[in-house]
Structures are given as structure tokens and as C-alpha cells.
Amino acid sequence: MAEDLRLLHKDRILAVKDLPTLPNVLQEVSRLVEDPTSSTDQVAKVIAYDQVLSAKVLKMVNSPIYGFPGRIGSIQHALVLLGLNVIKGVIISTSVFDVMTSTMSGLWEHSLGCALACTEIAKVVGLEDPEEYSVPGLLHDLGKVVTAVQLPDVKQELDATVRQRDCTYREAESLVLGFTHETINGWLAQHWRLPLKIREGMSWHHAPTRAEHFPAAACVVHVADFLVKVYEYGSSGDDQVPALDPNALKLLKLGTQGLDTVMDSLADKFLEVADISFN
């Protein structure tokens, strides 16, 4: 019976075509990216056709998350500086999170905070293209949004379970759904053909050392998620601080001094990203 319910929930969640998430422009961008003859100019033009989306993307890429505040004036410039994976992640997040204000209060702020923390951690530990780590940070709780939109009745049950049992949102997901938001993240990342590094960061942030190909990405999101919860920045559905896996710090070679550097930087920057909204 429990397995039947799990499959039913999975089927309803996987009906992602019903989600007000990915605009046509992203599908066209994905098509261009797979075409070796296409250029950055062509990709930028496609995004620029959607003026609302362009404004959202430029607002995001000029935020402290990416370290170029107020300096990126065009989509093409953003693509050159940040790369397509970052821009795709921004398009997905700004599209999906549009539906969030009413469904999960505080989750957008939590996700922004996590993206910012991911970039800072990646810089401090010396990872290549640190901005790319912001994308799994932005999208790490996407499965919660999908549940709220696709299964509003289940969302109410999850909230009630968190309150009654004083447990984490993730524990409530296991009890009510039979799987957690990371599983949904994996389905979505595959469906949208996101790069493996982003997919693993989204799918394994609660068990980071189990990531098969890019454990560093999962470890960065894991530590970032922990720090954002410690700072009580936004809300991810409960008020519990998850356990920090010491193996994640070990894998990243992030010692006490490095962690202090990240935390000092975050305290100021959280205030700066607080006003990024798209309503």
C-alpha cells in the first residue's frame, strides 16, 4: 500500500508539464547550446526576446551572488562572464520561484542565501568557476516547490507533520511521501538535462559524499545549506539546523579558518541579497 502511494505521488510530481516553470525561451536556449554551430550572440538574442525574463536575469546576475554588482548591462555580457550553465540555472530558478510566494514563505530567501554561500565557499576552497556552484545552491530545494505546486494537499500534510512531530521537513517528506525533495530534484535535473555537476549538487546535498561524479558540488551545497540555516536566513520549511557532515568539510579541505572567512563574508552579503524579488 505504501509503495502504491509512493508511485502515485511520483506520477503526479513527474507531470512537470503542468508546472509554470520553464518558459519556451529556455527550451530554445537548450536547443541552441546542443548545436555546435550556434554562437553566444544567438543564445543572448533568444533570451532578450523575453523582456520580463531578461530583466529578471540581469537583476540576478548583478546581485552580490556573482560578484559583479551593477556592472552587467546585457544578457550577452552575462553569458560571457558567467557562462551558460549559470544563466540556465538563473532562468530556471527565477521562473520556478515566481510561484513560490504563496506556497512556501521564506524559501526564495533561503535559496538565494544558499546560492550566495555556495559561491563564497567555492571561492575560499579554490574551486574552478566558483559562480557555477551557485546554481545547485539556488535549485537545491526545488523539489519542495514542485510538491507544493503539484500536490497542494500533500503540502498541507507535510506542514502539519513538521508542526506535530517537531521534525525536519525532510523527515516529514519521508513519512508522508516515501521520498524526499532531493529525489524530485534528480528527476527534474534529468528532465531538464542539466549538467551532471549541477544535478549531483541538487540531488545529494543531504548525503554529499555519496555523489558519484561531483562530490565537491554536493559538499559545497551541503555546507552552504547548513550555514544559511545557522544564520536563520529565510526558511526551508522547518526551524531545525541539519547536522553538518564532517566528511564534507574534509573533502573540500575547508578548515576552521576557511569557515570563519566564509561566515564573515556572508554576514554582510545576506543583507545585500535580501531585496531580490521578482514580484
Residue 3 has pLDDT above 50, yes or no: yes
Contact indicator for 85, 135 with CB cutoff of 8 Å: yes
The proportion of the chain whose per-residue pLDDT surpasses 90, expressed as a percent, equals 38
pLDDT at residue 262 is higher than 70: yes
Lowest pLDDT segment from 76-80, 254-258, 266-270, 272-276: 272-276
Q: Residues 76-107, buried b or exposed e (16+ Cβ, 10 A)?
A: bebbebbebbbbbbbbbbbbbbebbeeebeeb
Position 76, amino acid: Q
Rounded Cα distance, 144 and 104, in Å: 8
The region of weakest confidence among 16-20, 43-47, 76-80, 259-263 is 16-20
Q: What is the pTM of this model?
A: 0.86
pLDDT of 141 > 80? The answer is yes
Alpha helix locations (H) across 97-242? 100-103, 107-124, 134-139, 142-150, 152-165, 169-176, 181-191, 196-203, 215-230
Q: Residue 101 pLDDT more than 80?
A: no
Confidence band of 256 (pLDDT split at 50, 70, 90): very high
pLDDT at 278: 57
pLDDT of 17 over the 50 cut:
no
Assess whether pLDDT exceeds 70 at residue 81.
yes
Closest CA to 111 of 15, 209, 208, 237: 237
Burial 145-156, CB ≥16 within 10 A → b, else e: bbbbbbbeebbe
pLDDT of residue 172: 94
> What is the C-alpha separation between 204 and 77, in angstroms, rounded?
32
To the nearest whole number, what is the mean pLDDT of the chain? Answer: 85
Mean pLDDT, to the nearest integer, of 125-140?
92
Q: What sign does the CA torsion over 235, 237, 239, 243 have?
A: negative
**How sure is the predictor about 274, in pLDDT bands with cuts at 50, 70 and 90?**
low
Please tell me the distance from the alpha carbon of residue 217 to that of residue 135, in angstroms, as a whole number.
10
Of 11-25, 38-52, 134-148, which gets the smallest average pLDDT?
11-25
Say if residues 111 and 234 touch (Cβ distance below 8 Å): yes
Contact status, residue 155 vs residue 173, Cβ threshold 8 Å? no
What CA–CA distance (Å, rounded) separates 58 from 70? Answer: 9
Q: Which CATH class is domain 2-273?
A: mainly alpha
Q: 59-68, 90-99, 243-252: which range is least confident on average?
A: 90-99
Q: What is the pLDDT of residues 20-51, one digit of tens each?
A: 445 677 778 878 877 888 888 888 888 888 88
Could you state, in order of their start, the residue ranges of all structural domains in the chain? 2-273
Residue type, 29: V
Residue 1 has pLDDT above 60, yes or no: no
CA angle 151, 162, 182 (to 5 degrees): 55
**pLDDT tens, 211-232?**
999 999 999 999 999 999 999 9
The pLDDT assigned to 36 comes to: 84
- Provide the pLDDT confidence category of residue 19 given band limits of 50, 70 and 90: very low
12-26, 55-69, 177-191, 263-277: least confident range: 12-26
Instruction: Collect contacts of 167-171 with beta carbons under 8 A, ≥24 apart.
Output: 167/238, 167/240, 168/238, 168/240, 168/242, 169/144, 169/236, 169/237, 169/238, 170/206, 170/242
CA distances from 36 to 39, 132, 268 (A): 8, 22, 42
Residue written as grid cell 515566481: 98
Give pLDDT, residue 20: 42
